[in-house]
Amino acid sequence: MKISYDAEVDALSITFRETTVTTKHLAEGIAADYDAAGRLAGIEVLDAVKRFGNRETLREVVLEGINPAPAVVCEKPEKPYGQ
């Protein structure tokens, strides 16, 4: 599973599996991606900061109920390097 945030367009994306998908729009700014077998492959939320309150909320990820693998954290810089 991969959780990513694109500050340029204020979009939060949760990808459960990389595959070809069909997208279903669930509500204004919220979409779900399904694989060919109809399994949920991902979720996208537009206007994420507005919906969740602030950027700090997006940094707080709690995974309960399973023993997770060691965390890999990658932050996308908000500005290109050198600017």
* Domain, as residue range, for 42: 2-54
Of the two residues 48 and 57, the one the predictor is more confident about is 48
Of the two residues 18 and 78, the one the predictor is more confident about is 18
- Judge whether 23 lies within some domain: yes
Q: What is the pLDDT of residue 46?
A: 96
Q: What is the pLDDT of residue 78?
A: 61
Average pLDDT of the residues in 49-69: 80
Q: What is the pLDDT of residue 59?
A: 80
Structural domains of the chain, count: 1
Q: What is the pLDDT of residue 55?
A: 83
pTM across the whole model? 0.72
DSSP codes joined into one string, 3-57: EEEETTTTEEEEESS-S--EEEEEETTEEEEE-TTS-EEEEEEESHHHHHSSHHH
Q: What is the pLDDT of residue 79?
A: 56
- Judge whether 41 lies within some domain: yes
- Judge whether 21 lies within some domain: yes
